[in-house]
Chains A and B, each alone.
Chain A
Amino acid sequence: MSGEIIFIEGGRVLDPASGTDGIRTVVVRDGRIAEVAERLERPREARAIDARGKWVVPGLIDLHVHLREPGQEYKETVETGARAAVAGGFTAVCAMPNTVPPNDNTGVTELVLARASAAGLARVYPVGCISKGQKGEELAEYGELKNAGCVALSDDGKPVMSSALMRRALEYARVFDLPVTVHEEDLGLVGKGVMHEGPAATRLGLKGVPGAAEEVMVLRDIALAELTGGRLHLAHLSSAGSVRAAREAKRRGLRVTAEATPHHLALSDEDVARSGYDTDFKMNPPLRSAADVHAVREGLADGTIDCIATDHAPHTVVEKDLEFDVAANGVVGLETAFAVCLALARKGAFSERRLIEALTIAPARAFGLPGGSFAKNAAADVAILDPGLEWRCEPGRFNSKCGNSPWKGAMLVGRCTHTLVGGRVVHELDMGASGQGPMGASGSGPKGER
């Protein structure tokens, strides 16, 4: 509401973009960041939010989520996905285009934006297809897609197998300054693999996918990025070789950015083996060896991997409660990302500041999105995270429609307690009723702005 003043007091403000890390008060006025300072006097008409013991950070940004609408609303809708997002502290998400029909046209783009606007929760930035129908044959209409509101291009879910098409996509996208985010796997090397190729797969008797299946495509696309001068973003990197290639590409000054998921930072193929064929450990790319996990963590720590993106992929029991070979790939992640990554930061994989950077300003910069910082007059997208809050991960109580998570039943530490989008509180953790469920402000909010 216009004119509302909110004082977020007593929290540790972590704003990597400005370097701020300390106890501050964040003042929100008219939906914008008015001031971030110590010891401010709160006027009587201002609403106070007590953030003592918590972190106050710019609203988290997730470059890679699957909202399943249009076409698979039984798994998730833009609204339920946006609700899951704000529950996890995310104020903006990029919606992947592998919907039914896929987002290769203005119609689908506008639908997604309209749903997001009606929900009034997280901002949703649609991503358009690289190729028409994601068929990997013809370029989609990037200009139209950008005009309709797309912020990036992807055929995610599938790789672009044709090198010729990938080259043209990178070149053509330059005109509209759109990043191309790519799902990297060589389908020939993947074959019928369902988990990482290695001793764990051998023990389980499951067909494996070598890390090289991802690396050969990463190397190819880096070469094409160099050739074309296009903006390449490497989605969900999982193997050590890919991280090495990305590091080298950055050192040479190429416009290459990269992301990694919380599950690829936290889990390995041994976790799949220990799970007893649990399909909530089946995703693409698969969970790889301990050495690969280590390389991904190092890559995030040293900036080779710019940001963390969840690849939130809801599937119901129809797709998941099957034998491992045929179960669908993917896990949800919006509501567990902070806790999982915080645990890794506590173990020393990367600093807490780097963690927040990877969830805020870094994704914003990678895609050229607004937000990700507490710059004066920036839209007041804020997440208040309690780093000490213990909670049991109960998929049945997720805000997402689906519960396919490898952390189901686990005790996690770290949770978002408040989320503001454009100065409105859209999520507040209800501590009374065993800490579940948001109490969001209703009504329409700002749609995904650019």
Chain B
Amino acid sequence: MIGRHKHLIGLEPLSREEILGLLQLAVSMKEVLRRPIKKVPTLRGKAVVNLFFEASTRTRTSFETAAKILSADAFNWTSSTSSVTKGETLLDTARNIEAMHPDVLVIRHPAGGAPQYVANRVGCAVANAGDGAHEHPSQGLLDLFTLAEHFTRVGGKPGGEVGKKEDVVPDFGTIAGKTVAIVGDISHSRVARSDLYGLTKLGAKVRFCGPPTMMPPGVEAMGATVHHQLREAVEGADAVVMLRIQHERIGDPLIPGTREYSKFWGLNAKKAAEWLTPTCAILHPGPINRGVELSSEVADGPRSVILEQVENGVAVRMAILYLLAGGAHEIDTPAPEGAARA
């Protein structure tokens, strides 16, 4: 359980305390990743099934790795079809898998609401690995984790050195009061939404940036400020999240092409040097379109924390799986008294 929640559908329903609890747990999980033997027996005998209806090697592998480090059994079920196109409905697929008694179902689906739909109909816990344009909670959490590490490392001193990426114990209070810009196709981005919910719940200010065609309707009501000029969005920001731009969107072109996008909304070394503070972190959920939203220099440069995001992703997903799969399934089983002191 994550707080009162049996499933992890998104960050929007979570309280600030529940998010902090998850992040704090991820700190302990990250320590396991640094051990010589990267395995703990915690979820031995538990089964985690990745039910992915959209191709995604990185998120799936990240969840799989997280499960295996916790000694859970991990199974992958990829389907390139959703309901109705090839016969078996989403519900039937989920029920068939449930009959094999998984402890956690990790679902990625092109339709917003699909993980919620499945969670309402199966008995096991459900983790959302990305549903349509709705939410991608594990990405939101790992971005928060990475930002907290970065802000803690930098010490919040303006003009402070970024320097070597030494290990720090992240202080999640450092997120409050920071300004984070999220740049890209906000209207189609579940990462942007999960980041927004997580950041605002922890007290940060969010700026959305992109051409008007990429701004979702009602975006102002969500709590972010909207900017169409990249410079305006990133100047003075403490961190920038660059989103991946899809090369084509058939039937509904939002931009003339990637060349124009890159020129006006992409980050290259020159813009970074002129517009970003030296301690401004650069994040990207991956995979990067090098040369489109980020130049190679910036992606591999001193401000980039993209690889830390990947490592933190495993730790965060370990925390998610631990909370969803750990513990009895009958909620009213009381903890045996004094067990902790045995």
Which residues on A are within 8 Å of B, measured CB to CB? 191, 197-208, 210, 276-277, 321-326
Contact = CB atoms under 8 A, between A and B. Distances in A.
Interface stretch (B16-24, B29-37, B105-113, B153-161): B105-113
A210 B218 CA distance: 12
A206 B114 CA distance: 11
Contacts of A325: 82, 110-114, 132
B110 A322 contact: no
A277 B187 CA distance: 19
Interface of A is mostly: loop
The contact size tier of chain B is: 20 to 34
A205 B135 contact: yes
A278 to B, nearest CB: 9
A185 to B, nearest CB: 16
Contacts of A208: 217
B252 interface: yes
Given A205-B112, A322-B117, 18 more contacts: A199-B219, A201-B217, A201-B218, A202-B187, A202-B193, A203-B193, A204-B113, A206-B112, A206-B132, A208-B217, A276-B113, A323-B82, A323-B83, A323-B111, A324-B112, A324-B113, A325-B112, A326-B82
Contacts of A198: 217-218
B217 A323 contact: no
B131 A205 contact: yes
A193 to B, nearest CB: 10
A202 B219 contact: yes
A204 B112 contact: yes
Contacts of B176: none
Contacts of A207: 133
Nearest to B53: A323
B268 interface: no
Given A205-B190, A324-B113, A326-B82, A191 B218 contact: no
Interface of B: 12, 82-84, 89-91, 109-114, 116-117, 120, 131-135, 187, 190, 193, 216-219, 221-222, 251-252
A157 B73 CA distance: 48
A295 B260 CA distance: 41
Contacts of B190: 205
Contacts of B218: 198-203
Contacts of A277: 112-113, 116-117
Given A191-B252, A208-B217, A277-B117, A202 B111 contact: no
Given A205-B133, A205-B135, A326 B83 contact: yes
Given A191-B251, A191-B252, A326 B217 contact: no
Contacts of B134: 204-206
Contacts of A324: 111-113, 117
Nearest to B84: A326
Nearest to B109: A323
12 contacts: A199-B221, A201-B218, A202-B217, A202-B219, A203-B218, A205-B133, A205-B135, A205-B190, A206-B133, A324-B112, A326-B82, A326-B111
A198 B220 CA distance: 11
B31 to A, nearest CB: 34
B319 to A, nearest CB: 24
A199 B218 CA distance: 4
A324 to B, nearest CB: 5
A210 B132 CA distance: 19
Given A204-B134, A205-B193, A323 B113 contact: yes
Leading 9 A-B pairs by shortest Cβ distance: A205-B134, A199-B218, A205-B112, A277-B113, A325-B111, A205-B133, A202-B216, A323-B111, A323-B114
Contact of A322 (B12, B83, B133, B251): B83
Contacts of B114: 323, 325
Contacts of B135: 205
B131 to A, nearest CB: 7
Contacts of B116: 276-277
Contacts of B91: 321-322
Contacts of A206: 112-113, 132-134
A322 B90 contact: yes
Contacts of A323: 82-83, 90, 109, 111, 113-114, 117
Contact of B217 (A199, A321, A322): A199
A340 B245 CA distance: 45
Nearest to A201: B217
Contact of A197 (B117, B132, B193, B217): B217
Contacts of B110: 325
B222 A203 contact: yes
A321 B193 CA distance: 26
A38 B295 CA distance: 87
- Of B91, B117, B120, B134, the most chain A CB neighbours within 10 A belong to B117
Contacts of B217: 197-199, 201-202, 208, 210
Contacts of A321: 91
Contacts of B132: 205-206, 325
A120 B234 CA distance: 71
Contacts of B120: 276
B268 to A, nearest CB: 30
Contacts of A202: 133, 187, 193, 216-219, 222
A322 B85 CA distance: 12
A201 B82 CA distance: 21
Contacts of B82: 323, 325-326
B214 to A, nearest CB: 12
A198 B110 CA distance: 20
Contacts of A326: 82-84, 111
A203 B133 CA distance: 9
B94 to A, nearest CB: 11
Nearest to A322: B83
A207 B252 CA distance: 12
